[in-house]
Amino acid sequence: MLSLCSATAILWELGLAQTYMNMTHAATTQQREELQRTIWKIAEDLRGAIGGWEFKAYVLGSLFYRFISENLTDYINDLQSKAGIKGFDYAAMSDEDAEPARRQMVEEKGFFILPSQLFVNVCKHCKDDENLNMTLSNIFKAIEGSALGTDSEEDMKGLFSDFIVDNALLGTDVKSRNRLIAKVLTTVRDMNLGEEFQENRIDAFGDAYEFLMHMYASNAGKSGGQHFTPQEVSELLARLAAVPLRKVNSVYDPACGSGSLLLKFKKTIGRDNPALKYYGQEINPTTYNLCRINMFLHNINFDNFDIQQGDTLITPKHRHLEPFDAVVSNPPYSQKWEGSSNPLLINDDRYAGPGVLAPDSASDLAFVLHALASLNEGGTAAIVEFPGVLYRSGKEKSIRHWLVENNYIDTIIQLPANLFFGVGIATCIIVLRRGTRPDNRILFIDASKEFVKNGNKNKLSPQNQDHIFEVFANRTEEPYFSRLVSISDILDNEANLSVSSYVEQEDTREFINIDEVNEELSNLVSEGEILWGKIDSIIKEIGEA
């Protein structure tokens, strides 16, 4: 069977993908909704003693285990089929017969799994396996260990570390914990992620992962939402970052979280750029693991991504690979960083330009400067930020002044409030560009009213996204929505980049027409005089009687 990835690539090469997508849109929507209902039911059935945001490690871990098992099995079966061996099934092989394929599989796929260790084979006996915890622990160690000493070692290391088989929260004893883990495995096994979904070209594993992340983020509030950027915001950022480029070879996220921005770039831009490579760094170890899992779940091979762990602002891990064609990011808002307490940072070429460092209490603009330094000449960065960075004084004002003066800022977009989980305030997007700019002006877009209600949250609809994107791409001015402002005018305004300072707000109050009011008053006075005349006549008649 033609794989999902290769079929999509061929369609795009033939220029038929959009037609195909239109033909199958209704079917894929129905399939995706069915998949999401199934996932929701599984999560509700399984969520109990351990909270949803923690329990997702077991659901997602099982989903990942199933994916890499099936991915490897399909890959080997396809190789055998091409070699003329019909009806071959890697899952039915003995471990001894499969062992000679280890080296080749690690080189080509980045990992190796023996037939007995495959998800499908473990699930056959998991309910009766009294040592299921040890079985899984040994298998996970073997999968990660298969990459030791190879190019994929760092990509595989620790991917199952959050799947803690002996977690006391799963049960008071081994038997009860194994019973619950077995239930997770079998319910994930029974999820419809097979041929029916592939026939409609749904990225089933990727969609399942993203839906779980979305669901847990919305239920967990800030604790979950800090790891997740809403899909429609991710898509808008990807579209913004790719506008000036005909071909994108690399995309980078310095605060990549679970990878939603990088993966949305794959879905929107990667279809036309099959050789696109994905780079990211994440400080949180759990989220770092989630991001790497997310890469595999979206069928990105280990040699096409490089996700690193660490503090990007202090110890960036990708400087030797810079510059990148595009940068997309949603870094943490107004978090503390070393700043002035680290005397080496002021001489770091990423931060040296403005002559001052971002405040110790707010690292926002440090991420902006890092993103700028990571960009290729002609590249674009689209970064979600807390609006305070647009107008706060002190060091941030100095950094803004330098960015504006050097014509690095292309566009500022005010987003609606209440888009992100755990964050009710309105956010903004700062778009940076390196290289030749169309003019010495900055485009300001007030998209604060571009949303639809989605439960208790706001959401950017496709129409909202298109409106923002078209104005951005064409650099057009619309009354009460967008305006081009010269660099000199912005510098005269103390480098204030607040959208409301430049885009006039529409006055929706009802205006009073003075002439109409005067005419109405005149009519009322005339009517009053007539009434008083009638009253006087009535009184006079009463008096004469």
Tokens matching residue 343: 């005397």
Do both 319 and 336 map to the same domain? yes
Largest CA distance in the chain: 128
Do both 247 and 323 map to the same domain? yes
Distance CA(377)–CA(472), nearest Å, equals 20
What ranges in 375-478 are assigned the alpha helix state H?
395-405, 462-474
Helix, strand, or coil here: 279?
strand
Helix, strand, or coil here: 526?
helix
Do both 42 and 141 map to the same domain? yes
Do both 64 and 182 map to the same domain? yes
Do both 332 and 380 map to the same domain? yes
Query: Model confidence over 448-504: pLDDT tens digits?
Result: 999 998 877 889 999 999 999 999 999 999 999 999 999 999 999 999 999 999 999
Q: Can you say whether residue 281 is alpha, beta or left, with left for phi > 0 and alpha for psi between -120 and 50 degrees?
A: beta
The position carrying tokens 């990105």 is 300
- Strands of 415-534, DSSP E: 428-433, 441-446, 452-454, 457-459, 482-486
Question: 229 with 420: CB under 8 angstroms?
Answer: yes
507 within a domain of the structure (yes/no): no
Do both 218 and 243 map to the same domain? no
AA letter at 6? S
pLDDT at 27: 46
Do both 217 and 104 map to the same domain? yes
Distance CA(299)–CA(306), nearest Å, equals 14
How many folded domains does the chain comprise?
A: 3
pLDDT at 20: 33
Q: Which domain holds residue 299?
A: 231-501
Q: What is the pTM of this model?
A: 0.79
- Residues in a beta bridge with 252: 279, 327
Give me the percent of the chain exceeding a pLDDT of 70: 82
Q: What is the 3-state secondary structure (H, E, C) of 94-129?
A: CHHHHHHHHHHHHHHHCCCCCHHHCHHHHHHHHHHC
Do both 156 and 243 map to the same domain? no
Give yes or no for residue 530 having a pLDDT over 90.
no
160 within a domain of the structure (yes/no): yes
Instruction: Write down the mean pLDDT value for the chain.
Output: 84
pLDDT at 486: 97
Do both 115 and 209 map to the same domain? yes
365 within a domain of the structure (yes/no): yes
Distance CA(340)–CA(359), nearest Å, equals 8
506 within a domain of the structure (yes/no): no
Final residue before a domain boundary, out of 168, 196, 225: 225
AA letter at 88? F
pLDDT at 393: 95
Distance CA(135)–CA(112), nearest Å, equals 17
Do both 528 and 419 map to the same domain? no
Helix, strand, or coil here: 275?
coil
Tokens matching residue 231: 């899909």
508 within a domain of the structure (yes/no): no
pLDDT at 299: 83
Taking Cα atoms as reference points, which of 478, 455, 456, 458 lies closest to residue 467? Answer: 478
Contacts of 487 (CB under 8 A, 6+ apart): 404, 405, 407, 440, 441, 442
Final residue before a domain boundary, out of 225, 248, 266: 225
pLDDT at 224: 44
CATH number at residue 249: 3.40.50.150
Q: How many CA atoms lie within 13 A of 121 on its CB side?
A: 18
Do both 545 and 408 map to the same domain? no
pLDDT at 267: 82
Final residue before a domain boundary, out of 225, 240, 262: 225
Give me the percent of the chain exceeding a pLDDT of 90: 56
